[in-house]
Amino acid sequence: MSYRIVRVTNLYNEYLRQYYSMFPTMRQQNFHDQYNHLVMDSCDSVAAISQHLNAIGADAFEIFTNAEWLQNQWRIENSCDKVGKDLVMEQIKRLRPTVLWLDDTELIDNRWISAVRENVPSIKIVTAEICAPYNSENVKHVKALDFLVTCTPCLRSEFELNGITTHLVYHAFEKSILNRITSDNQYPVNDLLFTGSLYTGSGFHTTRIQYLEQFLEVGIPVKIYGSIETFKKTLTKKTAYHVLNFLQSTGLEKLLDYIPALKRYEAYGDTPVNFYSRKLRANVLPAVFGLEQFKLLSNAKICFNIHGEIAKGCAGNLRLFEATGVGSCLVSDWKENLGELFELEKEVVTYKTKEECADKVKWLLQNPAEVAKISKSGQARTLKDHTIQNRANQINEILTGML
């Protein structure tokens, strides 16, 4: 059946800053040209899913809420004076979707969702995807949706325990990217690569940081391209952790309701926050995004992967499919469902401890023929089972079944 889906999403803010710095003339382009260029450069998976949905008969659009120059150009071309959530509401009104899909968590708000249902009568389904750290306040608002989508079985179970109908849709790889990363690839060949975020605090990347710091301590030659926080940001989180734990230990946690600035950091009361080691800070290269990141990954013999704390016992992060998709040998943390996605030790290499990880990485570095064999097998599996086209077909089945 035919339907119109509008997906309200966003891109990494750091990526957008880099993008408009690299392509400053795009700020003056019309909406259509600016949008198409941004989508091609970002290799955004949401836009790729939309393209495949369009190919099977849907009518799919995206709104990138934090792409300021793109949004401003839409306002100019559509004689609209609204901003922020009101601008997004106006865009949705004009697109008149059957399905509204929210990735921007700022919009997963029960009052805003009620308003959009009231103002856009064409909408039959409102859904969202959450694969990042969330809190109890988020859960209250998620209940205003018709259903939720998430990217790991563990997260699905958590949401279902809260009475929320949840579908599991794993991340995936867009195989057309392979045609775009072979030319003008100026990144060096790296024996071992990590690329990704390194944020401190509960639900984020504490364990990931510890592994990378160990690599550096024992002399494993890892190249790190990542996003790290400022000293001030880490200090704020660390202070919040101690204050929150003090309030809890003295029975004064209700004071949080009267301190909005501290309330925002409530989640950081769960896990101790540590500063980065000097060695890690000295070895982190600037984060790489979009097409450039895929070029970087494709020149890595081995790609180190570790899930954030939010994943708990389940695998499902984006790097699983990006690294294998471009043909890098993936070394990833063992998870209870990873064997359902890949054949362990043949298509991906797994570890359970820092010591096992270090031993396996050292062995792989000494056995390049095995690295090549695993890389080839992992890529074949991803191109067979874990493509964006496969996920678009799954999403289409979910939506048509609901409609």
Distance CA 282, CA 25 (A): 33
**Which pLDDT value is given to residue 234?**
80
All residues at 6 or more sequence positions from 176 whose CB lies less than 8 Å from its CB, including other chains: none
Which of 116, 11, 5 has its CA nearest to residue 53? Answer: 5
Distance CA 320, CA 333 (A): 10
**Which pLDDT value is given to residue 137?**
78
Residue ranges in the chain whose pLDDT is less than 50: none
pLDDT digits (tens, 9 = 90+) for 27-56: 999 999 999 999 999 999 999 999 999 999
**Which pLDDT value is given to residue 204?**
78
**Which pLDDT value is given to residue 266?**
64
Burial of 365 from C-beta contacts in 10 A (0-12 / 13-18 / 19+): middle
Domains by residue range for the chain, with CATH? 4-172+387-402 (3.40.50), 179-245+269-385 (3.40.50.2000)
What is the side-by-side order of every strand in the sheet holding 147-150?
Answer: 59-64, 4-9, 99-102, 125-129, 147-150, 166-168
**Which pLDDT value is given to residue 92?**
98
Which of 323, 188, 208, 369 has its CA nearest to residue 276? Answer: 208
pLDDT digits (tens, 9 = 90+) for 242-281: 777 767 778 767 766 667 766 666 666 677 888 899 999 9
Distance CA 331, CA 87 (A): 43
